[in-house]
Structure 1
Amino acid sequence: MTSKTAGSTPPDHLTPQQAMPKVNTVTAADIAAALKAGVSDFLARPVMSGFLGLFYAVFGLLLVWSLIWFNMIWMIIPAVVGFPLVAPFAAAGLYEMSRRLQTGEQFGWSDILTVMADQRNREMGWMAFVTLFIFWVWMYQVRLWLAIILQDASFSDFDGFLNTVLYTPDGWTFLAIGTGVGAFLSAALFTVTVIAMPLLLDRETNFVSAMLTSIRVVAESPFVMLTWAAIISVTMVVSMVPAFLGLIVTLPILGHTTWHLYQRAVPPEEG
C-alpha cells in the first residue's frame, strides 16, 4: 500500500465508538489498486453484482417514465443529471459483497439484498436521509432557476425544452447556473459520503463521525479524491446514455472499487 497515516491520536476520554478513525493520504496508485480489486470483485460475482446495477438502471428508467407520465418533461434532464447523486446509497449491497469476498465469508442473495434492512438499528438510515435530501435540493433548485430565468419560456414537449435551453441566451444562463450549483452539490455529497457509507457498514460508529471521517479523507488528498469523483461522474453519465444499461456493469465496478478505496483511506481499527 502506498498511503501513509495522517492525523492525531483521539483523546483518551473518547470511547472506541466515539474515537475518530485515523485517515491515510490516498494516492493515484491507491485508486488504481482499488479499481483493479473492484473489477476482480465484479468478475467473482458478475450475476449478483450485475443484478444490483440492473436494479439501479431500472429505477432510473422508471424515474424518467414517471416524469413523462406526469407531463413534467422539463424535469427529465435535471433528474437524469442528478440521478448519480443517490448512487452511494444504492451501492451499499456492493460494499457488503466486497467486504465478504475479502474476508472469505460465504454469502447468498438474501445476505446482500437485505443488507440495508440489517442496518436499521445502526446509522445507515441517516446517511440515506442525507443523500436523498441533497437530491431533493438539487431538484428544487432546478425548478427555482427555471422559474427565475425561463419564466417567459414556453415548452410543452422535450424538444421544445431542449431548444429553449440550448439555443437561447436565457437557456445558456440557466445551464451555466444549474451546472455550477450541481457541481457544488455533487462535490459536497461526494465529500461526506464516499468514505462514510462503507465505514458505517464496516464499523459501529455514528453517521456524523462517518461523515467527518469522509471529509477528512478528501481534505487529506483533495486532488486525488476529486479526480476519483470526476471519474465516477463521467463514467455514470456515459453509462446512462444507452437507456441506463451501461450501469449494469459500471455501477457494480465503481461500488466495489469504492469499498477497496475506503480500506486504503481508513486504517483498520487497532486491537
Structure 2
Amino acid sequence: MPQVRKITANDVIDALAAGLADIRRAPVYGLTIGALFAAGGLFVVLSAAALEMSYLSYPAAAGFVLIGPFAAVGLYEVSRRLESGDEVSWKTVLGTIWAQKGRELSWMAFVVLFIQIMWMYQVRLLLALFLGFRSFASFDEFLTQVITTPEGLMFLAVGHVVGAILSLLLFSLTVVSFPLLLEDDRDFITAMITSVRAVVTSPVPMIGWAIVVTAVLIVSMVPAFLGLIVTLPILGHTTWHLYKKCVVLPDET
C-alpha cells in the first residue's frame, strides 16, 4: 500500500503555488482542456432545455462538475511531465490519456459516472417527494415554485444536504486516486482506499481544499461555465501537487 503523509494548510498553499506555476509554464494545455470541459457543461444545460426539462438545468450542471477529476487526467499528466523534466506535447499528453482505456483508471471513471447517475436520481426522487409528479413549462416557473413554497424550500434544503454528502464521498474517493492511478497502475480499489486514507489522515486541510474547490466551481459555473476555462486547470494542476505531498509510493521511500 502507498504511504500516506499528514499534510497541513501550508502544504495546500504550496501545492496551489506549484499548480499556478505549471499553468504559466504550459498554459495551452490547461486552457484547452478547461475550454472543452466548459463546452461540455454548457452542452448539458442546453440539452436539458432542448428536451423541455429546463428545471433540471441546475442539478444537471452541478452533477456534470462531478466528472472534473476524470477530465483533469490530462492536466495531471502535464504536471507530472513538467515535474520530471520529460517532454510535454499534445502527442504525449493525449497518448497517455488514450492509454488509460485499458488500465484501472477507466474503472475510476466508471465510479465517477455512477455517482453522477446517483446524483441525478436523487434529484428526481426529491422532486417527486416534495413537489409531486408535475412538469414545469420553464426554468423560471420551476424556480418560482422552489423559492416561494414551503415544499420547494424543503426540496432545496434536503437536496443540497444530499448533494453535499455525495460530493464529499466523491472527493474522498478521487482526490488522490486519479493521480495515483496515472502514475502507478495499481488496482482502483487500492487507489480509492488510499484517497480516503489521505482525507482521514489530514481531515482539516483536505476538507478545507474540498470547500475551496466547491466554491471555485460554483463561481466558475455562473457565467455560462466560462470560468472553468481558467479554474479547471488551476484545480487540476494543484491536485497533482497535493497528491505528491500526500502519497509516497513504495519505490519512493
TM-score range, shorter chain: over 0.9
**Cα distance in 2, alignment partners of residues 154 and 58 from structure 1:** 27
Pick closer, same or farther for the CA change 1:143–1:152 going to 2, 3 Å: closer
1:129 is aligned to 2:97? no
Per-residue Cα deviation, 1:122-153 (whole angstroms, up to 9, x for no partner): 10110000000000000011001111110165
Per-residue Cα deviation, 1:207-260 (whole angstroms, up to 9, x for no partner): 000000001000001111011000001001101111111111100010000000
Give how far 1:119 is off: 1.3
Equivalent position SS for 1:95: helix
Amino acid at match of 1:179: H
13, 25, 28: which is aligned to 1:32?
A: 13
- 1:237 paired residue number: 218
28, 31, 38: which is aligned to 1:57?
A: 38
Amino acid at match of 2:141: G
Pick closer, same or farther for the CA change 1:78–1:207 going to 2, 3 Å: same
Equivalent position SS for 2:28: helix
Give how far 1:154 is off: 5.1
| 1:110-129 superposed matches below 5 A | 110-129=91-110
| 1:179-198 superposed matches below 5 A | 179-198=160-179
- 1:67 paired residue number: 48
**Cα distance in 2, alignment partners of residues 107 and 154 from structure 1:** 50
- 2:233 paired residue number: 252
Identity of aligned residues (%): 50
**Cα distance in 1, alignment partners of residues 72 and 142 from structure 2:** 32
- 1:173 paired residue number: 154
**Cα distance in 2, alignment partners of residues 116 and 218 from structure 1:** 26
Equivalent position SS for 1:225: helix
- 1:209 paired residue number: 190
**Cα distance in 2, alignment partners of residues 200 and 148 from structure 1:** 39
- 1:269 paired residue number: 250
TM score, norm. by length of structure 2: 0.97
- 2:124 paired residue number: 143
Equivalent position SS for 1:119: helix
Contact 2:29 2:75 in 1 (8 A): no
Would you tell me which structure has more helix in proportion to its own residues? 2
Contact 1:116 1:124 in 2 (8 A): no
Amino acid at match of 1:26: I
Amino acid at match of 1:223: V
Give how far 1:74 is off: 1.2
Where does the alignment leave 5 or more consecutive residues of structure 1 unmatched?
1-19
**Cα distance in 2, alignment partners of residues 106 and 96 from structure 1:** 11
Pick closer, same or farther for the CA change 1:169–1:260 going to 2, 3 Å: same
Q: Which is worse superposed, 79-88 or 232-241?
A: 79-88
Contact 1:67 1:76 in 2 (8 A): yes
Q: Which has the larger radius of gyration?
A: 1
Give how far 1:268 is off: 4.0
**Cα distance in 2, alignment partners of residues 68 and 114 from structure 1:** 35
Where does the alignment leave 5 or more consecutive residues of structure 2 unmatched?
none
Amino acid at match of 1:244: F
**Cα distance in 2, alignment partners of residues 146 and 130 from structure 1:** 24
- 1:16 paired residue number: none
TM score, norm. by length of structure 1: 0.91
C-alpha RMSD over aligned residues: 1.1
**Cα distance in 2, alignment partners of residues 122 and 153 from structure 1:** 44
**Cα distance in 1, alignment partners of residues 143 and 9 from structure 2:** 38
Per-residue Cα deviation, 1:45-88 (whole angstroms, up to 9, x for no partner): 11121000000000001111111111111110111122221100
Contact 1:153 1:164 in 2 (8 A): no
1:163 is aligned to 2:147? no
Equivalent position SS for 1:120: helix
Give how far 1:166 is off: 1.0
